[in-house]
Structure 1
């Protein structure tokens, strides 16, 4: 049961909110969401499986709801709050706006912090080693010889770090740091060693100390996945002591899939393995030959297997087998027998190499800790061994997944080879799971103290089933589900217009039809957004309509011609001046674009956003569903299109007083059997369906 003290705290927050915000209007849906979050976390629906999945439409106030429902409960029960988002924009909103406001209205003190992964911090050991002049080690790990400007920048950074004028956070350095420079000094799990002399002053270590003290931590989905893949509680608090507030939750399955994937080049890997081979003796010497001798031998032996094998695999690949995108996918994830055998050998060799180098790395760290080698020599050796160790662990993951036999139950792995974009004569081996739900359930949901998942678009075709399969929410009876409609007056403030188009989007002449039709629906509108399914079609239409736009004195702003921020800035300036402004964009403009009021009153969607399964993972998933007698179009394409169409339509009304129209130039929503389900899943716009 929810403790009375928590109820009092939530009530006090609401009262304070009314005092703090002049125009605050209590919303019934928001109050309900807050209550359901608090009751779920208190175990009122299920004592062990404390999970709520809530789709909350635009305007409900999701972030304030989960802060109100989550923080009072967590603090009372001595739990941590981890808010995970998909976008930087939402993180910034939480850190700079929502959490400071909540701190003012909450009757008790609490602290909050933005969490970043190791890759955002420099390693003080690596930075010092990179600044030491007069030695081959200085340039050993660079892809090419460093420029003088690179070395000068490193020295300035070290000086600033030592004088505490810089905290080692990449984002707080006043200028942009080139990737080639940052990769030399970035913190990694091998350079972060508690036994190192500078560990306590290490930027990432300091950041971890602040994280451990904070009550509320804001992170992104990638950092959350990185932590739970390591076992949980390594970077972020332990799942068992954490209440997870997952915002923009519809992105989590894709992030989880990316984290479970792996890729490595063939000749590229052989080349850096050669460099490592040349450094083994030097590293073993720093580690102490007597202790490191057997690990040195094992590492050399493993590398002597890997280098020729990787080159031999590359030589056996037939360039004619690739498609026009430079990809060859293994059907049903099944490798040819020769590659299956090579994969097993590479798996064992890369595992042996990683384990052996790891032992050498540990011995060096021990000697540095005991001051048995000079810090200069030890730091450089650790930086070098850590660099190669990370690459070996990735190589081991690739070949472990490549050699893994397909299971009798569940989806196979997607496996494919891609032509390297960097080297004409090289290939990249890639592996990805098709479904990650079981992994999320095992590593996160089954361990968490509580999980609240929210988004404006979690349902597909008015059902949560598709999201549950993706996200690993298998115990539906124990999970609380909510679908809260937006408080906006769609019937009176917005229309959905479906014109009488003579052609459907798959017709060859549809682009020409768009060029002819669009001006009719742009006429008389001051602020328009036109969403296309492809860059190619968008650019074709834009080029054809530019003369007309110029003649009518309409300003056309096309995605990709300038940066997103500059494009939107120009659009806002046009609207402010009363000038007609037309935005052309693709899929990325259908989500996260906030143009309230007069900034958008006319939204045109050129077609239902069906994704063609062109990526190897999508193709493999469709193939798997077909192999089980399913229909990938109805099971994947239609639900995904439903979500994307809802997101696209959601660009129109951003605030309660907004108004306008959505024009959908795709008659399939009327003519096809699946169309009614897509139409009914959209917000309740007033519908205007035109007929010839």
Structure 2
């Protein structure tokens, strides 16, 4: 490696973060500068780095700058013209990277002659997220002159000018399925070479695109194509950045597992009907209906649930009937069906056979949604090794970054889940949050928390009392995080009508409730599920964060299978259960302080977190250095000292 070029590249980091970015409104953050240096070294030395970046670091600017400097100072060689891949788990971050971060950096770097031309980036995603122009024309013709919801009609016609389905709101699920690019594009299609989707693919393959942005599932699908020596989904790349890296194992579980729901069965029957095999579709639908009946709970559930799959006599008979018919249809219809539908019949048969034979390579379970509707799920037992084979053995430098890669001061759990435990190229880097938690935050763990039975009415009443006291002490401005929707509902019923502030309850994907909470300024929001991470409440709107219970993972067939790998229950709790709780706790705690000027009370209402209790040390290991109190009076004093007069206005 050219030492002079390396020194120049690192010198450029200093100029960018100490002079150029501050001139354009960003603060100098020593942790961010150190992180960018570490990321650049990772790329230059062909390493894999786990970068735990605390809230407020600005890790996106750090890794994008490192990638751009790699391109500037090392443009030659076989990989010189190749792009980098940035993989994320959220559409919001993808939009921010392509719409804000890259244009901002590109403008500054152009103005200061760091790069000769703008950095170009593109979002890469599955074909089902784009419009097929031929199918759109057919759908528009079909709805002409017919009664249709006006919002849905407007959304459908807007696809004439927007081929990205994710960018259109109000489109019905049925219309989306009718107009999206099919799994296989017919070679005889008259629009094949001119449609917008194929123009998008042509542009994506251009050497001008330096940053390819995708989600974790698309990254893993590309890796699977490469392992099978199929055409890759992404252009060959020289470096990989995985942001929101703590979500990668979840994506891998989907990619390396299999699942079949009632919707999957319905779609398969619909495909056969569309091909005019109506009797075959009817017969298959009857067999699938019998299978779903053998799996169904037939009741509404308070929570989505996973239960281990047990092969009862009824289920065995239903599976045998489905498998027999699927095999017969493949044999009879092989000369007549399109290859991709035939493939779909085959993969459905293979998935069902896992449950019929009890395949030990998979953890077999049933996923029930809140309506009690079942899905058959098979999770691979070799997921870490599959991740290792797919991503880490390809000799490409990789940066994995997130605010929650570390648990209890260690990366051990992350290395284990990512398939990186034995990697010789691995390095760790910790970038502490620049926020002053000692000054701007206080941790309240009440000293009088009773040890009530979990899930009991007494627990809901005790929690309601504590929450009402805290809401009064902080004048609303409160986010209450629950570990289960059932507990949230029970406590909500106890507190409604008792508060002087607007009380709201957010269930799954209720963005309108979150919007109303932000508009109200001094409201109280009860939340669970996805609100533990990825939701931003800057300023005074969340000045009190209440964590009702320590977020221990719920036992299910997946955790039970992992438990079998440890000699004792204590080993399993120490190695898996506590680190997973700590990661989730860090995610929840991250809702408290979002900017340098935010101030917040964080309360934990779980008696197990109190001083002298079992998990007090694990809690302190998880959180930054912070003042702790057991007195509600300290909470009131903190709020009075930190908040201005406007905060207390109705």
| Match 2:127 to one of 118, 135, 141 | 118
- Which residue matches 2:648? none
Are 2:391 and 1:444 aligned? yes
SS at match of 1:592: coil
Offset of 1:314 from its aligned partner?
A: 6.5
Offset of 1:195 from its aligned partner?
A: 6.1
- Which residue matches 2:95? 92
Aligned positions of 1:219-258 closer than 5 A: 219-231=214-226, 234=231, 236-238=233-235, 241-258=237-254
- Which residue matches 2:542? 600
C-alpha separation between the residues in 1 aligned to 2:502 and 2:35? 42
1:436-472 superposed Cα distances (whole Å, 9 cap, x missing partner): 2112111122226221100000112222111222221
- Which residue matches 1:395? 348
Whether the aligned pair in 2 keeps the contact of 1:264 and 1:430 (CA below 8 Å) is yes
SS at match of 1:190: coil
- Which residue matches 1:520? 469
The total of aligned residue pairs comes to 608
- Which residue matches 2:177? 183
Are 2:196 and 1:203 aligned? yes
- Which residue matches 2:567? 629
Are 2:623 and 1:682 aligned? yes
Whether the aligned pair in 2 keeps the contact of 1:55 and 1:455 (CA below 8 Å) is yes
C-alpha separation between the residues in 2 aligned to 1:610 and 1:308? 41
Are 2:8 and 1:8 aligned? yes
Offset of 1:515 from its aligned partner?
A: 1.9
C-alpha separation between the residues in 2 aligned to 1:496 and 1:420? 35
Structure 1 unmatched ranges of 5 or more: 139-145, 283-298, 363-384
| Match 2:408 to one of 458, 461, 465 | 461
Offset of 1:476 from its aligned partner?
A: 4.1
C-alpha separation between the residues in 1 aligned to 2:397 and 2:579? 28
C-alpha separation between the residues in 2 aligned to 1:212 and 1:589? 37
Q: Please, what TM-score do these two structures have when normalized by structure 2?
A: 0.80
C-alpha separation between the residues in 1 aligned to 2:195 and 2:55? 42
Offset of 1:565 from its aligned partner?
A: 4.0
Are 2:61 and 1:64 aligned? yes
C-alpha separation between the residues in 2 aligned to 1:91 and 1:557? 29
- Which residue matches 2:483? 533
Decide whether aligned partners of structure 1 residues 549 and 245 sit closer, same or farther in structure 2, where only a CA change above 3 A counts.
same
C-alpha separation between the residues in 2 aligned to 1:548 and 1:156? 43
C-alpha separation between the residues in 1 aligned to 2:179 and 2:463? 51
SS at match of 1:547: coil
Aligned positions of 1:16-27 closer than 5 A: 16=16, 18-22=19-23, 23-27=25-29
- Which residue matches 1:567? 513
Aligned positions of 1:76-155 closer than 5 A: 76=75, 77-106=80-109, 107-108=114-115, 109=117, 110-130=119-139, 148-149=146-147
Aligned positions of 1:636-651 closer than 5 A: 636-651=576-591
Q: Please, what TM-score do these two structures have when normalized by structure 1?
A: 0.76
Whether the aligned pair in 2 keeps the contact of 1:493 and 1:660 (CA below 8 Å) is yes
C-alpha separation between the residues in 1 aligned to 2:631 and 2:557? 36
Whether the aligned pair in 2 keeps the contact of 1:244 and 1:448 (CA below 8 Å) is no
C-alpha separation between the residues in 1 aligned to 2:545 and 2:304? 36
Offset of 1:99 from its aligned partner?
A: 0.7
C-alpha separation between the residues in 2 aligned to 1:220 and 1:87? 7
Decide whether aligned partners of structure 1 residues 668 and 265 sit closer, same or farther in structure 2, where only a CA change above 3 A counts.
closer
Offset of 1:307 from its aligned partner?
A: 7.6
Whether the aligned pair in 1 keeps the contact of 2:258 and 2:378 (CA below 8 Å) is yes
Offset of 1:248 from its aligned partner?
A: 0.7
Offset of 1:684 from its aligned partner?
A: 1.1
SS at match of 2:497: helix
SS at match of 1:416: strand
Whether the aligned pair in 1 keeps the contact of 2:300 and 2:370 (CA below 8 Å) is no
Whether the aligned pair in 1 keeps the contact of 2:365 and 2:557 (CA below 8 Å) is no
SS at match of 1:647: helix
1:185-220 superposed Cα distances (whole Å, 9 cap, x missing partner): 2213312x5564422223322222222121102222
Offset of 1:591 from its aligned partner?
A: 1.0
The two structures, once aligned, show a CA RMSD in angstroms of 4.2
Decide whether aligned partners of structure 1 residues 354 and 121 sit closer, same or farther in structure 2, where only a CA change above 3 A counts.
farther
Offset of 1:355 from its aligned partner?
A: 9.1
C-alpha separation between the residues in 2 aligned to 1:359 and 1:656? 66
Whether the aligned pair in 1 keeps the contact of 2:364 and 2:379 (CA below 8 Å) is yes
1:287-318 superposed Cα distances (whole Å, 9 cap, x missing partner): xxxxxxxxxxxx98xx9997887677678x48
Decide whether aligned partners of structure 1 residues 665 and 449 sit closer, same or farther in structure 2, where only a CA change above 3 A counts.
same
SS at match of 1:637: helix
Whether the aligned pair in 1 keeps the contact of 2:152 and 2:171 (CA below 8 Å) is no
- Which residue matches 1:374? none
- Which residue matches 1:36? 38
Whether the aligned pair in 1 keeps the contact of 2:151 and 2:170 (CA below 8 Å) is no
Aligned positions of 1:284-299 closer than 5 A: none
C-alpha separation between the residues in 2 aligned to 1:159 and 1:559? 32
Whether the aligned pair in 1 keeps the contact of 2:363 and 2:561 (CA below 8 Å) is no
SS at match of 1:206: helix
Decide whether aligned partners of structure 1 residues 228 and 326 sit closer, same or farther in structure 2, where only a CA change above 3 A counts.
same
C-alpha separation between the residues in 1 aligned to 2:155 and 2:543? 48
**Greater radius of gyration (CA):** 1
C-alpha separation between the residues in 1 aligned to 2:593 and 2:262? 50
- Which residue matches 1:582? 524
Offset of 1:685 from its aligned partner?
A: 1.0
Aligned positions of 1:306-455 closer than 5 A: 317=294, 329-330=307-308, 335=311, 350=326, 360=336, 388-389=341-342, 391-392=344-345, 394-399=347-352, 401-402=354-355, 406=359, 412-417=361-366, 428-434=375-381, 436-447=383-394, 449-455=396-402
SS at match of 1:215: strand
1:137-164 superposed Cα distances (whole Å, 9 cap, x missing partner): x9xxxxxxx9934699999999887xxx
C-alpha separation between the residues in 1 aligned to 2:263 and 2:55? 50
Whether the aligned pair in 1 keeps the contact of 2:10 and 2:37 (CA below 8 Å) is no
C-alpha separation between the residues in 2 aligned to 1:273 and 1:573? 46
Whether the aligned pair in 1 keeps the contact of 2:152 and 2:172 (CA below 8 Å) is no
